[in-house]
Amino acid sequence: MREDTSNSGTTPGESTLAIHHGNTFAPDTGAVMPPIFTTATFSHGNPNGFDYTRSGNPNFRILESVLSSVENCSHTTVFASGVSAITAVASSLKSGDLVLCEENLYGCTVRLFEKIFSKFGIETAWLDFTDIDSLKQIREKNPTMIWIESPTNPLLKVLDIKAICKEANKNNIPVLVDNTFSTPLLQKPLELGATLSLTSTTKYINGHSDALGGAICTNDDEWQDRMNFAQKALGLHPSPFDSWLITRGIKTLPLRLERQINNAESIADQLAEHPLVKWVRYPFRSDHPQHKIALKQMKRGGAIITISINGDLKKTYEFCKNLRYFTLAESLGGVESLICHPATMTHASIKPELRLSLGIDDSLVRFSIGCEDLSDLTQDVNKALAKIK
């Protein structure tokens, strides 16, 4: 279905792969950038086999081919959002199936399993996958599939993807890794043994906070068929315009990410020295609990930092509101810096006892570091901290 993007023997670098999308599906015009194919339907018998946009559109194909080459996999299916991608995978399960999940999954994934898919008999069990005992649990529970995320949101727990996949693969249990926080540039789950790599392209891949999207990457033909089926049968397809925006966005992903990570590394180290900061969590800092695993499976530490403020709910919230360049908002991964207070925002719907047991207390804040000048960001953080002294 997709054209071969490899050239004669040499593998292009990731920046090249992110920029060169191949077929524009507009060969008669010489357009360097693909147009937006805002059509619901296609005339029967066209050479590329398009029929109706719910089951395929040139803009989906273009984005899918770029994502496949950046992820270094054979198949990608794009969806309307990360949640649509999650829905696509979960909808391929049946009543009585058991999904063994990391206990610190993205909030909307938890909600989908607990409030929606549980109604259809899909069972879940929740585990702390940083616990060495979890490998034994895989053998004992023998689940239908395993669902993990690394680093996790918002505590940035790093799970040993390779070890988990190795154990699961012994019994042919597919492992899905939600790779949204790392992107394929920092971590390639399929190369670590996962069957499915899920990304909310809304975040780093698009990078401009102006479109929603999701994707599933795999090397497994059967899973690819299931994903294509879910895209059309459940109406989970994206819009051609959003696909076009995300295709444009991914071209600068390597550039953006490099800047964001440089900023993040520096800010994480500065925060760790601040008396009003209890602790800093950043995967590539040596005080991170799974630092060694992070070094082993990630190229760099990413651009999300989580800290605990030396103060109560009021002070912590005040700090968030005092910032000038960090907008208090959900989401992450865009060029603009954001700050999130999980207890009152992303994780507000989780019962307080459960939230606390997961380590998400009122003093926790999560930074998504953007592409602004480092000096402006550090000054901003220092000023906002000084105001709550």
Ligand X SMILES: *Cc1c(COP(=O)(O)O)cnc(C)c1O
Query: Whole-number minimum distance, CB 211 to ligand X, in Å?
Result: 9
Instruction: Kindly tell me which of 56 and 151 has the beta carbon lying closer to ligand X.
Output: 151
Strand 277-281, strand 98-102: pairing: unpaired
Binding mask 98-137 for ligand X (x = CB under 6 A): --------x-x-----------------------------
At residue 52, φ and ψ (nearest 5 deg) are -150, 140
Nearest to 187 by CA among 291, 332, 294, 305: 294
- Of the candidates 157, 203, 226, 300, the residue annotated as catalytic is 203
Q: Are 95 and 120 in contact (CB under 8 A)?
A: yes
Task: Identify which of residues 216 and 385 has a Cβ nearer to ligand X in the complex.
Answer: 216
**Least spacing, CB of residue 83 vs ligand X, in Å:** 4
Kindly state the tokens that stand for 281.
């969590």
Estimate the crossing angle of helix 374-387 against helix 313-322, to 10 degrees.
140
Tally of CB atoms within 10 A around 179: 27
User: Closer CB to ligand X, residue 143 or residue 302?
Assistant: 302
By the rule CB under 6 A, 337 interacts with ligand X: no
Pick 81 or 243: Cβ nearer ligand X: 81
Site map (CB under 6 A) of ligand X, residues 31-70, x = contact: ----------------------------------------
Nearest residue to ligand X, scored by beta-carbon proximity: 82
Q: Among this protein's residues, is 106 annotated catalytic?
A: yes
Separation between Cα atoms, residue 368 and residue 350, nearest integer Å: 22
287 assigned to active site: no
**Which residues, 147 to 206, sit near ligand X by CB under 6 A?**
149, 153, 178, 180-181, 200, 202-203
Least CB distance to ligand X at residue 59 (A): 17
- Strands 145-149 vs 175-178: parallel, antiparallel or unpaired: parallel
Q: Does 246 interact with ligand X (rule: CB under 6 A)?
A: no
Per-residue tokens: 173: 């249990």
Q: Is 203 annotated as catalytic?
A: yes
Q: What is the residue type of 48?
A: N
Q: If you search the block for the tokens 């390779």, which residue do you land on?
A: 162
Whether 2 sits among the annotated catalytic residues: the reply is: no
Residue with tokens 């898919």: 117
Counting contacts by CB under 6 A, is residue 209 touching ligand X?
no
**Cα 352 → chain centroid:** 25
Short-list 305, 303, 308, CA closest to 282: 305
The kind and range of the H/E element at 328 are: strand 327-328
Size of the site for ligand X (CB under 6 A): 15
Complex with ligand X: residue 215 or 385, whichever CB lies closer: 215
Binding to ligand X by CB under 6 A, coded x per residue (else -) over 256-295, reads ----------------------------------------
Whole-number Å distance between alpha carbons of 124 and 150: 19
CA-to-CA distance for 57 and 35, rounded, in angstroms? 12
Residue of 2, 54, 141, 251 marked active site: 54
Among 56, 154, 207, 214, binds ligand X (CB under 6 A): 214
Does residue 342 touch ligand X according to CB under 6 A? Answer: no
CB 57 within 8 A of CB 49: no
User: Under the criterion CB under 6 A, does residue 83 sit at the interface with ligand X?
Assistant: yes
CB nearer ligand X, residue 183 or residue 277: 183
- Out of 157, 160, 178, 282, the active site residue is 178
Q: How far apart are CA 163 and CA 313, in angstroms?
A: 38
Catalytic positions are: 54, 106, 178, 203
Name the residues that contact ligand X, by CB under 6 A: 81-83, 106, 108, 149, 153, 178, 180-181, 200, 202-203, 212, 214
